[in-house]
Structure 1
Amino acid sequence: MTSIESITLEASDLDAADRFYATAFGLGSQVLLRASDAPTSGFRGFTMSLTVAQPGNVNAFIDAALDAGATAIKPAAKSFWGYGGTVQAPDGTIWKVATSKKKDTGPAAREYDDIVLLLGVADVAATKRFYVDRGLAVAKSYGRKYVEFAPSSGPVKLALYGRKALAKDAGVSPDGTGSHRLVIGTDAQSFTDPDGFAWETTSETASL
């Protein structure tokens, strides 16, 4: 069964990216970094999300990210589904921090419940079948709009969204070309999905 063991983000300035993530999010070995100058422009076709327990935690992460050099895309605000905001890290990765709660129940803290990788894909139904064939179990599915896979043994959850819908949710244009600047570490064999997202066995990822 395929599971996500880690996420590797590729950055042109590895030292700057390392300083940012250590300061802003403190994700440790769950999100790794790798140097890369692969051409890329615009939306890279994915976002990373931190789901947290309360609005105060959203603000704590967003403020820390901005102080560490991130760019605000969507300021943290209430919505019908909860509270959240979106930033772009210096390496170009788009991060959303959100909670389903609308009121704090305790002191604000930089603590998160889940890390979610959302892939923006051309055909949600086709990519869903691709991943189901590789052993991922579907937890939620809304036709051709959204799919969320059941948590695996790894630290990161996976979900699929239409590319344009994901870009709209993030607050950016869906246009983009070149490398995703993303490598998904897995305990299974290496493969590439229909939208060009690369999965590598964790032993290969760790050796790079």
Structure 2
Amino acid sequence: MAITLEQRGDGRGLMTGPARAEVLAAVRGALESTARHTLDSAGVTRRDSLWTADPRVLLTNPLSVAYGACGPMLLLNRVGPLPEVLVKWLLTQPLSVRSYLPGLYLGLAGIALFLLNLYAATGDAHFAELAVRGLDFDFAAGMVLCDALVPVSYLALNPPALPFVLAELTSLGLPPQVRDVISALRQGSPGEASAILARWQV
């Protein structure tokens, strides 16, 4: 069967006639087959990852879009409703800035994107609330990482200014725990810095 192409720039309707229906049916069949296999291979009893995947899932986090559960669940959510057991697994994962970096593929922004997709599919406002929380974490962590470059450069040239800079940043909204961790590290006390982070609940 010949496939006819239309000369349209919007990307729609490139195939016309019966071939379009055949191609769409084949694509839908491939997606459904992939979804079935993905669902059948989910390991909901594991805590470190939902699917056996790239080993980098063990070096990053169990929810990331790139290596964790949110990537496959984005596909599953597009093909049909997510099984409740997968949603429950997702909701048992602790979500915090201590465990997750900012970013779309490896971090909180990608997880928030998935949660927004889940909200759109289910209408459950809890998913939207979690997504906003994840985006807040992602934004805050990104700001800390980016904004840290300026004081770090300054302090490399002027180390005695550290207490003043930290006091000023704290008055502008830097969490005091960040100030205390930086001070502990500067004084050569990584154990104290670690203890501060362990006690800090974001």
- TM-score w.r.t. structure 2 length? 0.21
The structure whose residues are more often helix, as a share, is: 2
Greater relative contact order (CA < 8 Å, ≥ 6 in sequence): 1
Larger Rg: 2
The structure whose residues are more often strand, as a share, is: 1
- TM-score w.r.t. structure 1 length? 0.21
